[in-house]
Protein backbone atom coordinates (compact mmCIF):
# COMPACT_ATOMS: atom_id res chain seq x y z
CA UNK A 1 0.00 0.00 0.00
CA UNK A 2 1.43 3.34 -1.03
CA UNK A 3 2.42 5.62 1.81
CA UNK A 4 0.67 8.61 0.19
CA UNK A 5 -2.64 6.74 0.45
CA UNK A 6 -1.95 5.84 4.06
CA UNK A 7 -1.24 9.42 5.03
CA UNK A 8 -4.32 10.76 3.24
CA UNK A 9 -6.48 8.14 4.99
CA UNK A 10 -5.10 9.15 8.38
CA UNK A 11 -5.84 12.80 7.54
CA UNK A 12 -9.42 11.79 6.69
CA UNK A 13 -9.72 10.15 10.10
CA UNK A 14 -8.52 13.29 11.86
CA UNK A 15 -11.17 15.35 10.10
CA UNK A 16 -13.91 12.80 10.79
CA UNK A 17 -13.07 12.92 14.49
CA UNK A 18 -13.57 16.70 14.56
CA UNK A 19 -10.05 17.08 15.86
CA UNK A 20 -7.25 19.20 14.48
CA UNK A 21 -4.63 16.86 15.89
CA UNK A 22 -2.13 16.43 13.08
CA UNK A 23 -0.08 13.41 12.15
CA UNK A 24 2.79 13.05 14.59
CA UNK A 25 6.32 12.51 13.41
CA UNK A 26 8.02 9.14 13.59
CA UNK A 27 10.86 8.58 16.10
CA UNK A 28 10.50 11.69 18.24
CA UNK A 29 13.31 10.57 20.51
CA UNK A 30 15.69 10.83 17.57
CA UNK A 31 14.81 14.50 17.05
CA UNK A 32 16.04 17.76 18.49
CA UNK A 33 13.65 18.22 21.39
CA UNK A 34 13.18 19.96 24.70
CA UNK A 35 11.63 17.94 27.51
CA UNK A 36 8.71 19.80 29.11
CA UNK A 37 8.26 17.32 31.95
CA UNK A 38 8.48 18.15 35.63
CA UNK A 39 6.14 19.85 38.10
CA UNK A 40 3.07 21.37 36.44
CA UNK A 41 0.47 23.55 38.16
CA UNK A 42 -2.97 21.94 38.32
CA UNK A 43 -6.60 22.76 39.08
CA UNK A 44 -9.23 20.12 39.87
CA UNK A 45 -12.37 21.09 37.96
CA UNK A 46 -15.09 18.97 39.59
CA UNK A 47 -18.04 20.59 37.79
CA UNK A 48 -16.35 21.38 34.46
CA UNK A 49 -16.46 25.13 34.85
CA UNK A 50 -12.94 25.81 33.66
CA UNK A 51 -13.76 26.56 30.05
CA UNK A 52 -16.54 28.98 31.02
CA UNK A 53 -14.17 30.67 33.44
CA UNK A 54 -11.41 30.76 30.77
CA UNK A 55 -8.93 29.11 33.07
CA UNK A 56 -6.73 28.50 30.00
CA UNK A 57 -5.91 32.23 29.96
CA UNK A 58 -4.77 32.27 33.62
CA UNK A 59 -6.11 35.82 33.94
CA UNK A 60 -4.72 38.16 36.61
CA UNK A 61 -6.68 40.86 38.43
CA UNK A 62 -5.81 44.29 37.05
CA UNK A 63 -7.85 46.50 39.35
CA UNK A 64 -9.21 46.67 42.87
CA UNK A 65 -12.53 45.10 41.88
CA UNK A 66 -11.13 42.23 39.82
CA UNK A 67 -10.80 38.69 41.00
CA UNK A 68 -10.71 35.22 39.46
CA UNK A 69 -11.90 32.04 41.12
CA UNK A 70 -9.93 29.76 38.81
CA UNK A 71 -6.22 30.49 38.94
CA UNK A 72 -3.04 28.47 38.69
CA UNK A 73 -1.31 30.82 41.14
CA UNK A 74 -0.82 28.89 44.34
CA UNK A 75 -2.50 25.81 42.91
CA UNK A 76 -1.55 22.20 43.59
CA UNK A 77 1.31 20.73 41.56
CA UNK A 78 1.43 17.41 39.73
CA UNK A 79 4.25 15.49 38.10
CA UNK A 80 4.30 15.24 34.30
CA UNK A 81 4.52 12.60 33.02
CA UNK A 82 2.40 10.81 35.57
CA UNK A 83 -1.16 9.91 36.49
CA UNK A 84 -2.97 12.07 39.02
CA UNK A 85 -4.50 9.08 40.86
CA UNK A 86 -1.22 8.01 42.48
CA UNK A 87 -0.10 11.53 43.38
CA UNK A 88 -2.89 12.68 45.70
CA UNK A 89 -5.12 10.52 47.94
CA UNK A 90 -8.20 12.58 47.07
CA UNK A 91 -7.64 11.83 43.36
CA UNK A 92 -7.23 8.06 43.70
CA UNK A 93 -10.67 7.31 42.22
CA UNK A 94 -11.21 10.66 40.52
CA UNK A 95 -12.89 10.67 37.13
CA UNK A 96 -13.35 14.12 35.69
CA UNK A 97 -11.41 17.17 34.60
CA UNK A 98 -8.04 18.44 35.76
CA UNK A 99 -6.35 21.48 34.21
CA UNK A 100 -2.56 21.44 33.88
CA UNK A 101 -0.28 24.37 33.11
CA UNK A 102 3.39 25.20 32.84
CA UNK A 103 5.48 28.10 31.60
CA UNK A 104 8.44 27.82 29.27
CA UNK A 105 10.65 30.34 27.52
CA UNK A 106 11.08 30.77 23.78
CA UNK A 107 14.34 32.41 22.77
CA UNK A 108 15.03 34.74 19.88
CA UNK A 109 16.88 31.88 18.18
CA UNK A 110 13.65 29.91 18.12
CA UNK A 111 11.32 32.74 17.20
CA UNK A 112 13.40 34.41 14.54
CA UNK A 113 14.84 31.35 12.84
CA UNK A 114 13.10 31.05 9.47
CA UNK A 115 14.77 27.67 8.87
CA UNK A 116 13.14 25.98 11.88
CA UNK A 117 9.68 24.74 12.83
CA UNK A 118 8.42 24.00 16.34
CA UNK A 119 5.98 21.27 17.43
CA UNK A 120 4.37 20.32 20.72
CA UNK A 121 4.30 16.54 21.07
CA UNK A 122 2.36 14.55 23.68
CA UNK A 123 3.21 10.88 24.16
CA UNK A 124 -0.26 10.28 25.64
CA UNK A 125 -2.89 12.08 27.67
CA UNK A 126 -5.55 10.00 29.40
CA UNK A 127 -8.21 9.99 28.20
CA UNK A 128 -9.28 13.12 26.23
CA UNK A 129 -7.77 16.58 26.25
CA UNK A 130 -7.70 20.09 24.84
CA UNK A 131 -4.43 21.99 24.52
CA UNK A 132 -4.06 25.78 24.76
CA UNK A 133 -1.01 27.97 24.21
CA UNK A 134 -0.92 31.56 25.42
CA UNK A 135 -4.68 31.56 25.90
CA UNK A 136 -5.53 30.19 22.44
CA UNK A 137 -6.97 26.77 21.66
CA UNK A 138 -4.60 24.53 19.70
CA UNK A 139 -5.79 20.95 19.49
CA UNK A 140 -8.13 18.30 20.89
CA UNK A 141 -7.35 14.61 21.11
CA UNK A 142 -9.18 11.52 22.30
CA UNK A 143 -7.45 8.28 23.22
CA UNK A 144 -5.34 7.73 26.30
CA UNK A 145 -2.56 5.56 24.88
CA UNK A 146 -1.33 7.08 21.62
CA UNK A 147 0.61 10.24 20.68
CA UNK A 148 -0.42 13.47 18.98
CA UNK A 149 1.28 16.73 18.05
CA UNK A 150 0.53 20.26 16.85
CA UNK A 151 2.74 22.80 15.14
CA UNK A 152 3.36 25.95 17.21
CA UNK A 153 5.93 27.74 15.04
CA UNK A 154 3.71 30.81 14.68
CA UNK A 155 2.10 30.52 18.12
CA UNK A 156 5.15 31.02 20.31
CA UNK A 157 5.96 34.45 21.75
CA UNK A 158 9.25 35.87 22.90
CA UNK A 159 10.04 35.05 26.50
CA UNK A 160 7.36 33.42 28.64
CA UNK A 161 4.83 31.05 27.06
CA UNK A 162 1.90 29.49 28.92
CA UNK A 163 0.94 25.92 28.00
CA UNK A 164 -2.40 24.71 29.41
CA UNK A 165 -3.94 21.27 28.99
CA UNK A 166 -7.50 20.33 29.95
CA UNK A 167 -7.56 16.59 30.76
CA UNK A 168 -10.64 14.45 31.32
CA UNK A 169 -10.71 10.71 32.07
CA UNK A 170 -14.46 10.32 32.52
CA UNK A 171 -15.74 7.01 31.11
CA UNK A 172 -18.37 7.23 28.37
CA UNK A 173 -20.37 4.68 26.39
CA UNK A 174 -18.92 5.77 23.03
CA UNK A 175 -15.28 5.70 24.16
CA UNK A 176 -12.56 3.06 23.66
CA UNK A 177 -12.45 1.48 26.20
CA UNK A 178 -16.06 2.19 27.19
CA UNK A 179 -17.81 2.32 30.57
CA UNK A 180 -16.48 -0.89 32.06
CA UNK A 181 -12.95 -2.27 32.00
CA UNK A 182 -10.86 -4.34 34.38
CA UNK A 183 -7.98 -1.98 35.08
CA UNK A 184 -7.51 1.33 36.84
CA UNK A 185 -8.83 4.39 35.07
CA UNK A 186 -5.69 6.50 35.40
CA UNK A 187 -6.06 10.12 34.36
CA UNK A 188 -3.46 12.74 33.54
CA UNK A 189 -0.63 13.63 31.21
CA UNK A 190 0.80 10.15 31.49
CA UNK A 191 3.68 10.25 28.99
CA UNK A 192 6.39 12.64 27.83
CA UNK A 193 5.64 16.17 26.61
CA UNK A 194 8.21 17.65 24.24
CA UNK A 195 8.87 20.76 22.21
CA UNK A 196 10.43 19.47 18.99
CA UNK A 197 12.45 21.58 16.58
CA UNK A 198 12.78 20.56 12.92
CA UNK A 199 13.95 22.15 9.68
CA UNK A 200 11.24 23.78 7.55
CA UNK A 201 11.35 20.71 5.32
CA UNK A 202 11.72 17.66 7.52
CA UNK A 203 11.40 13.89 7.44
CA UNK A 204 8.00 13.30 8.94
CA UNK A 205 7.42 9.57 8.60
CA UNK A 206 9.08 6.43 7.31
CA UNK A 207 8.47 2.71 7.19
CA UNK A 208 11.56 0.57 6.58
CA UNK A 209 10.87 -3.13 6.73
CA UNK A 210 11.83 -6.52 5.43
CA UNK A 211 9.60 -8.02 2.79
CA UNK A 212 6.97 -10.29 4.33
CA UNK A 213 8.36 -13.34 2.53
CA UNK A 214 11.75 -12.47 0.98
CA UNK A 215 14.55 -12.41 3.61
CA UNK A 216 16.86 -10.35 1.40
CA UNK A 217 14.49 -7.62 0.19
CA UNK A 218 13.95 -4.37 2.12
CA UNK A 219 11.18 -1.88 1.32
CA UNK A 220 11.43 1.77 2.34
CA UNK A 221 8.74 4.46 2.29
CA UNK A 222 9.56 8.01 3.41
CA UNK A 223 7.26 11.03 3.77
CA UNK A 224 8.53 14.60 4.06
CA UNK A 225 6.72 17.73 5.23
CA UNK A 226 7.31 21.13 3.65
CA UNK A 227 8.90 19.61 0.59
CA UNK A 228 7.94 20.44 -2.98
CA UNK A 229 8.37 17.94 -5.78
CA UNK A 230 11.95 17.16 -6.66
CA UNK A 231 15.05 16.13 -4.80
CA UNK A 232 15.98 12.82 -3.28
CA UNK A 233 15.88 10.87 -0.08
CA UNK A 234 18.95 8.91 0.88
CA UNK A 235 18.82 5.71 2.97
CA UNK A 236 22.02 4.31 4.47
CA UNK A 237 22.61 1.11 6.42
CA UNK A 238 26.42 1.14 6.75
CA UNK A 239 26.81 -2.35 8.20
CA UNK A 240 24.96 -3.80 5.19
CA UNK A 241 26.78 -1.50 2.75
CA UNK A 242 23.44 0.02 1.74
CA UNK A 243 23.42 3.53 0.27
CA UNK A 244 20.37 4.09 -1.93
CA UNK A 245 18.44 7.11 -3.13
CA UNK A 246 14.78 7.59 -4.03
CA UNK A 247 13.09 10.46 -5.82
CA UNK A 248 10.59 12.64 -3.95
CA UNK A 249 7.23 12.99 -5.71
CA UNK A 250 4.74 15.85 -5.66
CA UNK A 251 3.23 14.61 -2.39
CA UNK A 252 6.58 14.70 -0.61
CA UNK A 253 6.84 10.91 -0.65
CA UNK A 254 9.62 8.61 -1.75
CA UNK A 255 9.60 4.83 -2.09
CA UNK A 256 12.20 2.28 -3.00
CA UNK A 257 13.12 -1.38 -2.54
CA UNK A 258 16.57 -2.88 -2.47
CA UNK A 259 18.23 -6.21 -1.92
CA UNK A 260 20.79 -6.88 0.80
CA UNK A 261 23.41 -9.53 1.40
CA UNK A 262 24.38 -11.27 4.62
CA UNK A 263 21.47 -9.79 6.57
CA UNK A 264 21.29 -11.04 10.16
CA UNK A 265 17.64 -11.18 11.02
CA UNK A 266 16.32 -10.10 14.41
CA UNK A 267 14.84 -12.86 16.53
CA UNK A 268 14.52 -13.91 20.17
CA UNK A 269 17.96 -14.84 21.40
CA UNK A 270 19.63 -12.73 18.73
CA UNK A 271 18.04 -9.25 18.67
CA UNK A 272 20.18 -7.82 15.89
CA UNK A 273 19.56 -4.13 15.13
CA UNK A 274 21.13 -2.02 12.37
CA UNK A 275 21.89 1.66 12.43
CA UNK A 276 19.78 3.29 9.71
CA UNK A 277 20.22 6.87 8.51
CA UNK A 278 17.58 8.67 6.44
CA UNK A 279 18.41 12.05 4.97
CA UNK A 280 17.16 14.70 2.57
CA UNK A 281 18.85 17.90 1.49
CA UNK A 282 17.63 19.64 4.68
CA UNK A 283 17.06 16.98 7.31
CA UNK A 284 18.44 13.69 8.59
CA UNK A 285 17.49 11.21 11.28
CA UNK A 286 19.05 8.04 12.65
CA UNK A 287 17.80 5.09 14.61
CA UNK A 288 18.29 1.37 15.05
CA UNK A 289 15.98 -0.92 13.11
CA UNK A 290 15.80 -4.70 13.01
CA UNK A 291 14.57 -6.91 10.21
CA UNK A 292 12.70 -10.18 10.58
CA UNK A 293 10.06 -12.31 8.89
CA UNK A 294 7.00 -13.55 10.75
CA UNK A 295 4.35 -15.75 9.19
CA UNK A 296 2.15 -18.78 9.72
CA UNK A 297 2.44 -22.19 8.13
CA UNK A 298 -0.59 -24.29 8.92
CA UNK A 299 -0.72 -24.49 12.71
CA UNK A 300 2.78 -23.10 13.24
CA UNK A 301 4.00 -19.56 13.81
CA UNK A 302 7.26 -19.00 11.97
CA UNK A 303 9.88 -16.44 12.96
CA UNK A 304 12.44 -16.17 10.18
CA UNK A 305 11.09 -19.41 8.76
CA UNK A 306 11.51 -21.36 12.02
CA UNK A 307 8.55 -22.72 14.02
CA UNK A 308 8.52 -20.74 17.26
CA UNK A 309 6.30 -21.47 20.24
CA UNK A 310 5.19 -18.23 21.88
CA UNK A 311 6.23 -18.32 25.54
CA UNK A 312 4.27 -15.23 26.49
CA UNK A 313 3.08 -13.19 29.44
CA UNK A 314 0.99 -10.03 29.75
CA UNK A 315 1.31 -6.97 31.93
CA UNK A 316 -0.40 -3.63 32.34
CA UNK A 317 1.43 -0.33 32.00
CA UNK A 318 1.56 -0.06 35.77
CA UNK A 319 4.12 -0.19 38.55
CA UNK A 320 2.20 -2.00 41.29
CA UNK A 321 4.59 -1.02 44.08
CA UNK A 322 3.94 2.65 43.22
CA UNK A 323 0.25 2.05 42.48
CA UNK A 324 0.58 4.16 39.35
CA UNK A 325 1.18 4.28 35.60
CA UNK A 326 4.57 3.23 34.23
CA UNK A 327 6.08 6.08 32.22
CA UNK A 328 9.88 6.07 32.31
CA UNK A 329 12.85 4.08 31.07
CA UNK A 330 13.40 2.79 34.61
CA UNK A 331 9.78 1.63 34.77
CA UNK A 332 10.21 -0.19 31.47
CA UNK A 333 13.31 -1.91 32.82
CA UNK A 334 11.43 -3.16 35.87
CA UNK A 335 8.55 -4.62 33.85
CA UNK A 336 10.65 -6.15 31.09
CA UNK A 337 13.24 -7.63 33.44
CA UNK A 338 10.59 -9.53 35.39
CA UNK A 339 9.14 -10.87 32.15
CA UNK A 340 12.65 -11.90 31.07
CA UNK A 341 13.19 -13.73 34.34
CA UNK A 342 10.05 -15.79 33.69
CA UNK A 343 11.62 -17.05 30.45
CA UNK A 344 9.38 -15.42 27.85
CA UNK A 345 10.10 -14.77 24.21
CA UNK A 346 6.91 -12.72 23.81
CA UNK A 347 4.88 -10.14 25.74
CA UNK A 348 1.28 -9.20 25.17
CA UNK A 349 0.98 -5.48 26.01
CA UNK A 350 -2.51 -5.57 27.40
CA UNK A 351 -4.92 -4.04 26.66
CA UNK A 352 -3.67 -0.89 24.93
CA UNK A 353 -0.53 0.52 23.28
CA UNK A 354 2.04 1.00 26.02
CA UNK A 355 4.74 3.65 26.14
CA UNK A 356 7.59 3.72 23.67
CA UNK A 357 10.24 2.99 26.30
CA UNK A 358 8.66 -0.44 26.89
CA UNK A 359 8.39 -1.21 23.17
CA UNK A 360 11.96 -0.23 22.36
CA UNK A 361 13.46 -2.02 25.37
CA UNK A 362 11.61 -5.23 24.51
CA UNK A 363 13.05 -4.98 21.00
CA UNK A 364 16.59 -4.59 22.32
CA UNK A 365 16.00 -7.60 24.58
CA UNK A 366 14.75 -9.80 21.74
CA UNK A 367 11.15 -10.12 22.92
CA UNK A 368 8.29 -10.35 20.42
CA UNK A 369 5.36 -8.06 21.14
CA UNK A 370 1.61 -8.29 20.72
CA UNK A 371 0.07 -4.81 20.77
CA UNK A 372 -3.61 -3.97 20.67
CA UNK A 373 -6.06 -1.11 21.04
CA UNK A 374 -8.54 -1.26 23.96
CA UNK A 375 -11.56 -2.63 22.11
CA UNK A 376 -12.39 -4.50 25.32
CA UNK A 377 -15.89 -5.85 25.88
CA UNK A 378 -18.82 -3.40 26.08
CA UNK A 379 -17.88 -1.37 22.97
CA UNK A 380 -20.71 0.43 21.14
CA UNK A 381 -20.29 -1.36 17.83
CA UNK A 382 -23.29 0.42 16.28
CA UNK A 383 -21.84 3.89 16.82
CA UNK A 384 -20.10 5.36 13.75
CA UNK A 385 -18.13 7.78 15.95
CA UNK A 386 -16.78 4.84 17.97
CA UNK A 387 -15.69 3.18 14.73
CA UNK A 388 -13.81 6.35 13.74
CA UNK A 389 -12.10 6.39 17.13
CA UNK A 390 -10.99 2.78 16.73
CA UNK A 391 -9.50 3.48 13.31
CA UNK A 392 -7.82 6.61 14.61
CA UNK A 393 -6.27 4.74 17.54
CA UNK A 394 -5.11 1.92 15.29
CA UNK A 395 -3.51 4.34 12.85
CA UNK A 396 -1.69 6.09 15.70
CA UNK A 397 -0.48 2.82 17.21
CA UNK A 398 0.77 1.51 13.88
CA UNK A 399 2.34 4.82 12.89
CA UNK A 400 4.38 5.02 16.09
CA UNK A 401 5.60 1.41 16.17
CA UNK A 402 5.52 -0.08 12.70
CA UNK A 403 9.32 0.27 12.39
CA UNK A 404 9.73 -1.84 15.52
CA UNK A 405 10.47 -5.35 14.33
CA UNK A 406 9.71 -6.70 17.81
CA UNK A 407 6.03 -6.08 17.13
CA UNK A 408 4.91 -9.36 15.57
CA UNK A 409 1.19 -9.19 16.31
CA UNK A 410 -1.45 -6.49 16.09
CA UNK A 411 -4.53 -7.29 18.19
CA UNK A 412 -7.88 -5.93 17.09
CA UNK A 413 -10.05 -6.74 20.13
CA UNK A 414 -10.34 -8.52 23.47
CA UNK A 415 -13.35 -10.53 24.66
CA UNK A 416 -16.03 -9.28 22.27
CA UNK A 417 -19.08 -11.39 21.54
CA UNK A 418 -20.28 -12.19 18.00
CA UNK A 419 -23.05 -10.07 16.50
CA UNK A 420 -23.58 -8.57 13.04
CA UNK A 421 -22.51 -5.11 14.21
CA UNK A 422 -19.48 -6.44 16.11
CA UNK A 423 -18.40 -8.54 13.14
CA UNK A 424 -18.69 -5.60 10.74
CA UNK A 425 -16.83 -3.32 13.17
CA UNK A 426 -13.89 -5.67 13.64
CA UNK A 427 -13.66 -6.50 9.95
CA UNK A 428 -13.45 -2.83 9.07
CA UNK A 429 -10.78 -2.35 11.74
CA UNK A 430 -8.85 -5.36 10.43
CA UNK A 431 -9.07 -4.29 6.80
CA UNK A 432 -7.86 -0.79 7.65
CA UNK A 433 -4.93 -2.07 9.71
CA UNK A 434 -3.81 -4.48 7.01
CA UNK A 435 -3.92 -1.68 4.44
CA UNK A 436 -1.33 0.18 6.53
CA UNK A 437 0.77 -2.79 7.62
CA UNK A 438 0.47 -6.13 5.83
CA UNK A 439 3.75 -7.40 7.31
CA UNK A 440 2.49 -8.47 10.77
CA UNK A 441 0.17 -11.18 12.00
CA UNK A 442 -3.30 -10.16 13.13
CA UNK A 443 -5.15 -11.69 16.03
CA UNK A 444 -7.90 -11.06 18.59
CA UNK A 445 -8.48 -12.54 22.03
CA UNK A 446 -11.81 -14.41 22.10
CA UNK A 447 -13.56 -15.66 25.23
CA UNK A 448 -16.26 -17.77 23.54
CA UNK A 449 -14.69 -21.22 23.41
CA UNK A 450 -17.06 -23.64 25.12
CA UNK A 451 -17.11 -27.32 26.00
CA UNK A 452 -19.81 -29.00 23.93
CA UNK A 453 -21.05 -32.05 25.81
CA UNK A 454 -22.69 -33.56 22.73
CA UNK A 455 -19.28 -33.72 21.05
CA UNK A 456 -17.14 -34.13 24.16
CA UNK A 457 -14.79 -31.36 23.09
CA UNK A 458 -14.13 -27.62 23.14
CA UNK A 459 -15.41 -25.67 20.13
CA UNK A 460 -16.00 -22.11 18.99
CA UNK A 461 -18.65 -20.55 16.82
CA UNK A 462 -17.34 -17.23 15.59
CA UNK A 463 -17.05 -16.24 11.93
CA UNK A 464 -14.15 -13.86 12.72
CA UNK A 465 -11.93 -16.94 13.14
CA UNK A 466 -11.62 -17.15 9.36
CA UNK A 467 -10.38 -13.57 9.06
CA UNK A 468 -7.40 -13.73 11.40
CA UNK A 469 -3.90 -15.13 11.04
CA UNK A 470 -3.66 -16.44 14.60
CA UNK A 471 -6.61 -17.40 16.80
CA UNK A 472 -6.30 -16.51 20.49
CA UNK A 473 -8.50 -17.51 23.40
CA UNK A 474 -8.92 -16.40 26.99
CA UNK A 475 -9.98 -19.51 28.89
CA UNK A 476 -10.12 -19.54 32.69
CA UNK A 477 -10.72 -23.21 33.32
CA UNK A 478 -10.95 -23.87 37.04
CA UNK A 479 -11.57 -20.24 37.90
CA UNK A 480 -14.60 -18.66 36.24
CA UNK A 481 -15.75 -22.04 34.98
CA UNK A 482 -15.34 -25.50 36.53
CA UNK A 483 -13.55 -28.20 34.65
CA UNK A 484 -16.11 -30.08 32.52
CA UNK A 485 -13.81 -33.11 32.47
CA UNK A 486 -10.42 -33.90 33.92
CA UNK A 487 -7.62 -31.76 32.36
CA UNK A 488 -6.02 -34.86 30.88
CA UNK A 489 -9.29 -35.69 29.09
CA UNK A 490 -9.88 -32.25 27.57
CA UNK A 491 -10.21 -32.43 23.80
CA UNK A 492 -9.90 -29.26 21.72
CA UNK A 493 -11.31 -28.87 18.24
CA UNK A 494 -10.89 -25.12 17.89
CA UNK A 495 -9.81 -23.36 14.68
CA UNK A 496 -8.30 -26.53 13.19
CA UNK A 497 -5.62 -25.79 10.65
CA UNK A 498 -4.70 -22.47 12.24
CA UNK A 499 -2.25 -21.62 15.04
CA UNK A 500 -3.88 -21.09 18.43
CA UNK A 501 -2.57 -19.02 21.36
CA UNK A 502 -4.11 -19.33 24.81
CA UNK A 503 -3.96 -15.59 25.46
CA UNK A 504 -5.23 -15.69 29.06
CA UNK A 505 -5.60 -18.36 31.73
CA UNK A 506 -5.07 -18.58 35.46
CA UNK A 507 -6.77 -17.55 38.68
CA UNK A 508 -6.36 -15.29 41.69
CA UNK A 509 -4.21 -15.83 44.74
CA UNK A 510 -3.12 -13.60 47.58
CA UNK A 511 0.64 -13.85 48.04
CA UNK A 512 1.59 -15.85 51.15
CA UNK A 513 -1.89 -17.28 51.66
CA UNK A 514 -2.13 -21.04 52.17
CA UNK A 515 -5.22 -23.09 51.63
CA UNK A 516 -6.73 -26.18 50.11
CA UNK A 517 -5.59 -26.61 46.55
CA UNK A 518 -9.03 -27.72 45.38
CA UNK A 519 -11.01 -24.83 46.92
CA UNK A 520 -11.17 -21.72 44.76
CA UNK A 521 -12.47 -19.54 47.59
CA UNK A 522 -9.26 -20.12 49.54
CA UNK A 523 -7.63 -17.43 47.33
CA UNK A 524 -4.48 -19.39 48.08
CA UNK A 525 -1.20 -19.81 46.27
CA UNK A 526 -1.86 -23.54 46.55
CA UNK A 527 -5.07 -23.34 44.54
CA UNK A 528 -3.45 -21.09 41.93
CA UNK A 529 -0.47 -23.45 41.61
CA UNK A 530 -2.74 -26.49 41.12
CA UNK A 531 -4.72 -24.49 38.56
CA UNK A 532 -1.53 -23.85 36.60
CA UNK A 533 -0.48 -27.49 36.71
CA UNK A 534 -3.93 -28.50 35.45
CA UNK A 535 -3.79 -25.98 32.60
CA UNK A 536 -0.37 -27.22 31.53
CA UNK A 537 -1.86 -30.71 31.36
CA UNK A 538 -4.75 -29.46 29.24
CA UNK A 539 -2.35 -27.74 26.82
CA UNK A 540 -0.98 -31.15 25.84
CA UNK A 541 -4.34 -31.90 24.22
CA UNK A 542 -4.59 -28.82 21.99
CA UNK A 543 -3.14 -30.07 18.70
CA UNK A 544 -2.71 -26.64 17.08
CA UNK A 545 -1.34 -24.85 20.15
CA UNK A 546 1.31 -22.30 19.11
CA UNK A 547 1.69 -20.28 22.32
CA UNK A 548 0.38 -19.53 25.79
CA UNK A 549 0.16 -16.37 27.86
CA UNK A 550 -0.76 -16.61 31.55
CA UNK A 551 -2.82 -13.77 32.89
CA UNK A 552 -0.94 -11.88 34.29
CA UNK A 553 2.63 -11.04 35.33
CA UNK A 554 1.83 -8.66 38.21
CA UNK A 555 -1.20 -8.16 40.41
CA UNK A 556 -2.80 -4.99 39.10
CA UNK A 557 -5.22 -2.39 40.40
CA UNK A 558 -8.89 -2.66 39.46
CA UNK A 559 -12.06 -1.15 40.96
CA UNK A 560 -13.78 -4.29 39.60
CA UNK A 561 -12.34 -6.29 42.46
CA UNK A 562 -14.38 -5.91 45.65
CA UNK A 563 -13.33 -8.71 48.02
CA UNK A 564 -12.50 -6.81 51.22
CA UNK A 565 -9.60 -8.95 52.41
CA UNK A 566 -8.23 -10.86 49.44
CA UNK A 567 -8.51 -8.26 46.67
CA UNK A 568 -8.94 -4.75 48.15
CA UNK A 569 -9.12 -3.19 44.71
CA UNK A 570 -6.52 -5.48 43.15
CA UNK A 571 -6.87 -8.19 40.54
CA UNK A 572 -4.80 -10.94 42.18
CA UNK A 573 -4.18 -13.10 39.11
CA UNK A 574 -0.55 -12.00 38.98
CA UNK A 575 2.30 -14.47 39.08
CA UNK A 576 4.02 -11.72 41.06
CA UNK A 577 2.35 -9.83 43.91
CA UNK A 578 1.79 -6.09 44.07
CA UNK A 579 4.92 -5.92 46.26
CA UNK A 580 7.09 -7.82 43.78
CA UNK A 581 6.98 -11.26 45.44
CA UNK A 582 6.83 -14.32 43.20
CA UNK A 583 3.99 -16.73 43.86
CA UNK A 584 4.21 -20.51 43.59
CA UNK A 585 2.61 -20.44 40.13
CA UNK A 586 5.47 -18.24 38.87
CA UNK A 587 7.92 -21.10 39.41
CA UNK A 588 5.64 -23.59 37.65
CA UNK A 589 5.49 -21.39 34.53
CA UNK A 590 9.19 -20.57 34.72
CA UNK A 591 10.19 -24.22 34.81
CA UNK A 592 7.86 -25.11 31.94
CA UNK A 593 9.14 -22.21 29.84
CA UNK A 594 12.71 -23.30 30.47
CA UNK A 595 11.88 -26.78 29.14
CA UNK A 596 10.21 -25.30 26.06
CA UNK A 597 13.18 -22.97 25.44
CA UNK A 598 15.54 -25.95 25.39
CA UNK A 599 13.26 -27.86 23.01
CA UNK A 600 13.20 -24.91 20.62
User: At residue 284, what are phi and psi to the nearest 5 degrees?
Assistant: -155, 155
Query: Residue 107's pLDDT band (boundaries 50, 70, 90)?
Result: confident
How far apart CA 65 and CA 314 sit, in angstroms, is 58
What percentage of the chain carries pLDDT values higher than 70? Answer: 96
How far apart CA 224 and CA 227 sit, in angstroms, is 6
Q: Which residues does residue 288 pair with via DSSP β-bridges, in sequence order?
A: 275
Tell whether the torsion through CA atoms of 380, 383, 389 and 393 is positive or negative: positive
Query: Residue 60's pLDDT band (boundaries 50, 70, 90)?
Result: confident
CATH topology of domain 202-292: Immunoglobulin-like (2.60.40)
How far apart CA 182 and CA 93 sit, in angstroms, is 14
**pLDDT of res. 195:** 97
Query: Residue 197's pLDDT band (boundaries 50, 70, 90)?
Result: very high
Query: What contacts 143, CB < 8 A, 6 or more positions away?
Result: 124, 127, 128, 176, 389, 392, 393, 396
What percentage of the chain carries pLDDT values higher than 90? Answer: 90
**pLDDT of res. 2:** 45
Q: Model's pTM, two decimal places?
A: 0.94
Of the candidates 582, 589, 415, 592, the residue with the CA atom closest to the CA atom of residue 509: 582
**pLDDT of res. 61:** 87
**pLDDT of res. 10:** 43
State the pairing for strand pair 76-80/38-45: antiparallel
Question: Could you write out the three-class secondary structure of 454-480?
Answer: CCCEEEECCHHHHHCCCEEEECCECCC
How far apart CA 497 and CA 192 sit, in angstroms, is 44
**pLDDT of res. 62:** 87
Question: Which CATH number is associated with domain 296-599?
Answer: 3.20.20.80
Q: Where are the domains of the chain?
A: 19-198, 202-292, 296-599
Q: CA dihedral in degrees (86, 91, 95, 100; nearest 10)?
A: -80
Q: What is the DSSP string of 329-356?
A: HHHHHHHHHHHHHHT-SEEEE-SSPPPH
Domain 19-198 has CATH 3.40.50.300: no
What do you get for the CA distance between the two ends of the chain, in Å? 35
State the pairing for strand pair 310-315/545-548: parallel
Distances from the Cα of 376 to the Cαs of 73, 284, 316, 429, 490, in angstroms? Answer: 40, 40, 14, 14, 28
Contact 127, 141 (CB under 8 A): no
How far apart CA 556 and CA 569 sit, in angstroms, is 9
Amino acid sequence: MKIRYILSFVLFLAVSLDSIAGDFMTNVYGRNFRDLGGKWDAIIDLYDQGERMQVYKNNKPSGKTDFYEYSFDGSLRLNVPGDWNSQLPQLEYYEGTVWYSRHFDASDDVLNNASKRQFLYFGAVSYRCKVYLNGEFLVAHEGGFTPFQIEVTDRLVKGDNLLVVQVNNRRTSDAIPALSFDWWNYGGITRDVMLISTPVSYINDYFIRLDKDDPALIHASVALEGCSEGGEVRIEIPELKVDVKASIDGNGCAETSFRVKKLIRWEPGNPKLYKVRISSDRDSIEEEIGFRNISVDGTKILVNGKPTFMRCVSFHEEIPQRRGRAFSENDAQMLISEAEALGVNMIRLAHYPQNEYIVRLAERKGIILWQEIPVWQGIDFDNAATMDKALGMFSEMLRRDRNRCAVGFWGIANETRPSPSRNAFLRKELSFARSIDPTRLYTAAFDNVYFKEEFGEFRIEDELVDDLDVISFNKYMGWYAPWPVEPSKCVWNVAPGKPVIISEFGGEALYGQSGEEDVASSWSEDYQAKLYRDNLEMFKHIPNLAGVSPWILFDFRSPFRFHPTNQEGWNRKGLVSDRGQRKKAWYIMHDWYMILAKEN
